[in-house]
Chain A
Amino acid sequence: MRAALGELAIARPKTLAEALAEVDPKAHSTPAVPIAGGTDLYVYLNAGTLEAPRFVDLWGLRELRGIRESGEALRLGATTTMSQIREHPLLARRYPALVQAAAEVGGRQIQNRATIAGNIANASPAGDSLPALLAYDAIVQAKSARGGRTLPFESFYQGYRKLALAPGELIVAVDLPPPAARATHFFRKVGTRRAQSISKVVFAGLLRLDRAGLVEQVRLAYGSMAPVPLRARAAEEALLDEKLNAPTVARARAALERDLSPIDDIRSDREYRRQVAGNLLEQFLRLAAKRK
C-alpha cells in the first residue's frame, strides 16, 4: 500500500443530502471524493497514484440502492452492484447485454462490490458495463445540493476520463429505457484472459429488423476503442434502413473506421483492436440477420 491511509479522512453521511453537502464545493474547500465499493479507488491508493485527502462513503446510503421500475424505464440506484445486476430476473430478460457485462466484471469479489455508478464515474474507456449502457440508451440521474438533472449517457464523457458532471454533483441513478421488442442483443468482451480481466475491445449491440428485413433500429457501442466509450454512429448510419446483406455489412464495417480511434497500450495494439471491432460487428450482424 503506497498511499498513507492513516492520513485519509472519510465522511459517513446518513442521507443523500448529507452526502451532497460533503461534495459541495461551496461547503468545502476540498470536496470529498465519493467512494462506494472501492474497487477502483483502492487500486489507485495501493499504487500511490491517487492524491485525495478526503472521501465520502456512499456505500451505506439506502437512497442510492435498489433496482425498481420507474414508469417505462428501469431505474438502477447508483450503488447497485454488478452482482445485483447479474442476479436480477427482469434485467436478464430485458437487458441481457448489461447482465452479461456485469457477469464479466472482475471476479465475484469485485462484482459484489463494484457499482454501476462507480463504473461510470471511474470513466475508464475500458469499463465493461459502459457499452451496454450506451446500447440501451441509458440516462444518468445526477444530483447536487442545488437540485437534480438528467444527462443522456451518450454525452456523459467529454473527453478521456472527463465527466459531464458539474462540481458537487453525484450520480444517483441510471435509467434504462425499455429496449425495442424482438431486437437482437449482443455483448462481447475481448479481454486479456477469460475472466477477471480488463478489456482490449468491448462491444455491445442492439438491432431490430422490420418486417421487410430492413434495419429499423440499431445501436452499436464500443469500449477501449477511443478515449471514451462511444456509439459507432457512422456504422449505425450505414445500417439503418438497409437489408443485412454482404454489401451493407461491408459498408458498415468501413464506416466503423470513422467512428473508432484505437491506440496501442499496455494491453493490446491499435491494429488488433481495429480488426476485432470490425469482426465483432460482423459477428453481431450475422446473428441479427438470422433473426427474422
Chain B
Amino acid sequence: MSEVTLRLTVNGKTHRVRVPPMKRLLDVLRDECKLTGTKEGCGEGECGACTVLIDGRSANSCLVPAVQADGAKILTVEGLSKDGRLSALQRLFVEGGGAQCGICTPGMLVSAHELLARAKGRVPSENEVREALAGNLCRCTGYQKIVDAVRAAARGGRAW
C-alpha cells in the first residue's frame, strides 16, 4: 500500500516522514522520529502511557492515524525539558517520588502539563488533578505522589 509524506512539528522540530497513512502516531514518533519516550501500554486508549499533546490537546497516540498529525504541533515527554534542564513539574516528580517504574511517567507528565496549561496559574484542587489524570493508569505509586507533585508544580506559578 502506498505511503504518504507527512510533515509534523514535534517538540518544536519539524519532521518529514514517509509512512503508511494509517500507521499510528505512536509508531511514527517512536520509529520515524526516534522519540521512544512515548510508551505503549495497551494499544486501546486505556492506559494513557502514549499520551501526547496534539495542537495543545492531549490524545492517546495509539489511536491517532498518522495522517491526522500532518501539519500538527506535537508535544511529547522529550519536549518538556529545555536544553537538558528539567521543568518544575519534572523536577517535582523526581524529588517527590512521582516516578517509580517510570513507564506511565511520560504520559502522566504530558496529561499534567495539559492540566496546568488549562489551569492558567490557578492551583487545581486535588480532585481536579485526579480527574485530569484519570486517563493515565499507574500501577506503582497509588497516584498520591503524582497528584502531590502536580499540585506543587501549580503552586510554583506559571513556569511549571
The answer on direct contact between A and B (beta carbons under 8 Å) is: yes
Nearest B residue to A193 via CB reads: B134
B63 touches A108 (CB 8 A): no
A46 touches B23 (CB 8 A): no
Instruction: List chain B residues, Cβ under 8 A from A112.
Output: 57-59
Nearest A residue to B62 via CB reads: A42
A113 touches B1 (CB 8 A): no
Partner among B62, B65, B68 whose Cβ is within 8 Å of the Cβ of A46: B62
CA distance A46 to B41 in the complex (A): 12
Q: Cβ of B95 < 8 Å from any Cβ of A? A: no
Instruction: List chain B residues, Cβ under 8 A from A195.
Output: 131, 134-135
Q: Cβ of B24 < 8 Å from any Cβ of A? A: yes
CA distance A42 to B46 in the complex (A): 12
CA distance A1 to B65 in the complex (A): 13
User: Given A12-B67, A109-B45, A42–B24 Cβ distance below 8 Å?
Assistant: yes
Interface size on B, residues (CB 8 A): 31
B48 touches A47 (CB 8 A): no
CA distance A196 to B135 in the complex (A): 6
Within 8 A of B (CB), among A99-121: 106-110, 112-113
Q: Cβ of A57 < 8 Å from any Cβ of B? A: yes
Nearest B residue to A38 via CB reads: B63
Q: Cβ of A60 < 8 Å from any Cβ of B? A: yes
Counting chain A CB atoms within 10 Å of each CB, the highest count among B1, B43, B60, B67 belongs to B60
Partner among A1, A37, A60, A113 whose Cβ is within 8 Å of the Cβ of B24: A1
Instruction: List chain B residues, Cβ under 8 A from A8.
Output: 1, 20-22
Nearest B residue to A41 via CB reads: B63
B22 touches A47 (CB 8 A): no
A57 touches B135 (CB 8 A): no
Instruction: List chain A residues, Cβ under 8 A from B131.
Output: 195
Within 8 A of A (CB), among B25-59: 43-46, 48, 51, 57-59
Instruction: List chain A residues, Cβ under 8 A from B45.
Output: 39, 42-43, 106, 109-110
Instruction: List chain B residues, Cβ under 8 A from A39.
Output: 45, 60, 63
A83 touches B43 (CB 8 A): no
Nearest B residue to A42 via CB reads: B63
16 contacts between A and B (CB under 8 A): A1-B43, A5-B22, A6-B22, A9-B22, A38-B68, A39-B45, A42-B45, A57-B65, A57-B68, A59-B68, A109-B45, A112-B58, A113-B59, A194-B134, A195-B131, A196-B134
Contacts A10-B21, A43-B63, A57-B68 aside, 16 further interface pairs with beta carbons under 8 A come to A5-B24, A6-B1, A6-B23, A8-B20, A8-B22, A38-B68, A42-B62, A55-B22, A57-B67, A107-B48, A107-B133, A107-B136, A108-B135, A109-B58, A109-B111, A195-B131
